[in-house]
Amino acid sequence: MRVAAGLILASAMSVALTGAARSQTPAAKPAAATQAAPAAPAPAAAPATAPAATAAAPAQPAFPPPPKQAPQPARAACNTPGALGVARTVEIDTTGGPGFGFEHFKELDFLRDKEVVLTFDDGPWPKNTPAVLKALADECTTGIFFSIGKHATYEPEILKQVYAAGHTVGTHTWSHANLNNKKLTEAQRKEEIEKGLSAVKWALGGISPSPFFRFPALQHPPEMVTYLGNRNTAIFSCDIDSFDFKASKPEKVIETVMKKLDSKGKGIILMHDFQKHTAEALPELLKRLKAGGYKVVAMRAKFPASTLPEYDQELLKDVKLPTVSNRPVNSVVTTVSE
Ligand SMILES: [Zn+2]
């Protein structure tokens, strides 16, 4: 029943997102060449940290090693007494594609009692994502943002803000396709994963995000779980699903999360920075977490994701890239009479 309901919701959401993508297509602004962090160097030829080869493992396809790039900017120092804050930061070695979130993956029980991980899907999106960023900043806390590739190409500046604020950026496919959809070929499923990653890297001005991935609607086709394992990408399900995309008002988001959390005692919370109600609910929800004695854990990847060159190229066909000129519009177009 849970699965059936999920499928229905997933397709409804997919339609909603597709509709949003079609009807609300701000012209993709040129990626600002001036990213605070230095541009990522080209992937080094030498493997960085060679994953230990398991004796019994079959021959795996060769994928590029993780790129070497400047460390992500740190979160701002917290000057807010009594803020929720970040209790603990964990580093994840994503070799072999570990799974997190007990709704689907039960091997890695790393959270202590009362610990939570905040996760936000489907952004970046105008207004709502910046509101989520503000709420997190006000409480000196952090989360993982699983970005949709298309949305990243619409709003690269917002995704850059997410990264610059020190939050973890993961990916969530190119177009939010349900990868369990039998109409999709294996090549199309891989393209959803890889082009989504290439898009997020492009939006971040060439900086690779974390090899953290969440399947749309938490639909996990086994062959893609294996594929992500070979791509050394961690897979995130959740422990507490806020069902915020169904909520009729912000209070409902808070109620659902707190009720499930008080029952389970800890967990990875799934929300959507794409959703207005979530953005509105977050300040109060974070206060409630603090009052309830919950502590936020930050999750970082040990090494960044490596995009595949063919999908980086494929992406360029979909993005209106700046060609030779990077100049802002007001330096190119001047009103001379009105
Ligand atoms: Zn989603």
Q: Tens of pLDDT along 91-135?
A: 999 999 999 998 899 889 999 999 999 999 999 999 999 999 999
Catalytic residue among 121, 122, 239, 273: 121
Whole-number Å distance, alpha carbon 216 to ligand 1 midpoint, is 5
At 24, the pLDDT band (50, 70, 90 cuts) reads very low
pLDDT (average), residues 134-156: 97
**How far is the C-alpha of 78 from the C-alpha of 140, rounded, in Å?**
6
Whole-number Å distance, alpha carbon 146 to ligand 1 midpoint, is 8
**How far is the C-alpha of 208 from the C-alpha of 304, rounded, in Å?**
6
**pLDDT above 60 for 225:** yes
Whole-number Å distance, alpha carbon 99 to ligand 1 midpoint, is 17
pLDDT (average), residues 280-284: 98
Residues in the chain: 338
DSSP 124: -
**pLDDT above 60 for 57:** no
Question: Contact, 208 vs 35, CB < 8 A?
Answer: no
pLDDT score recorded for residue 281: 97
Question: Contact, 144 vs 167, CB < 8 A?
Answer: yes
Q: Specify the 3-state DSSP secondary structure of 327.
A: coil
Which residues does residue 116 pair with via DSSP β-bridges, in sequence order? Answer: 267, 296
**How far is the C-alpha of 269 from the C-alpha of 118, rounded, in Å?**
5
Q: Mean pLDDT over all residues of the chain?
A: 85
At 52, the pLDDT band (50, 70, 90 cuts) reads low
pLDDT score recorded for residue 106: 85
**How far is the C-alpha of 129 from the C-alpha of 325, rounded, in Å?**
29
pLDDT (average), residues 245-269: 96
pLDDT (average), residues 254-269: 97
**How far is the C-alpha of 139 from the C-alpha of 86, rounded, in Å?**
9
Axis-axis angle for helices 276-291, 128-138 (nearest 10): 10
pTM over 0.75: yes
Q: Specify the 3-state DSSP secondary structure of 225.
A: helix
Catalytic residue among 167, 172, 272, 277: 272
Give the residue, 17 or 245, on which the prediction is more confident. Answer: 245
Question: Contact, 124 vs 146, CB < 8 A?
Answer: no
Q: Round to the nearest angstrom and report the end-to-end CA distance of the chain.
A: 62
**How far is the C-alpha of 30 from the C-alpha of 328, rounded, in Å?**
9
121 is catalytic: yes
Question: Contact, 239 vs 90, CB < 8 A?
Answer: no
**pLDDT above 60 for 144:** yes
At 321, the pLDDT band (50, 70, 90 cuts) reads low
**pLDDT above 80 for 275:** yes
CB atoms closer than 10 angstroms to residue 23: 7
pLDDT score recorded for residue 318: 79
At 322, the pLDDT band (50, 70, 90 cuts) reads low
Q: What are the angstrom distances between the C-alpha of 244 and each of 11, 42, 307?
A: 16, 39, 31
pLDDT (average), residues 306-332: 79
273 is catalytic: no
**pLDDT above 50 for 88:** yes
DSSP 123: -
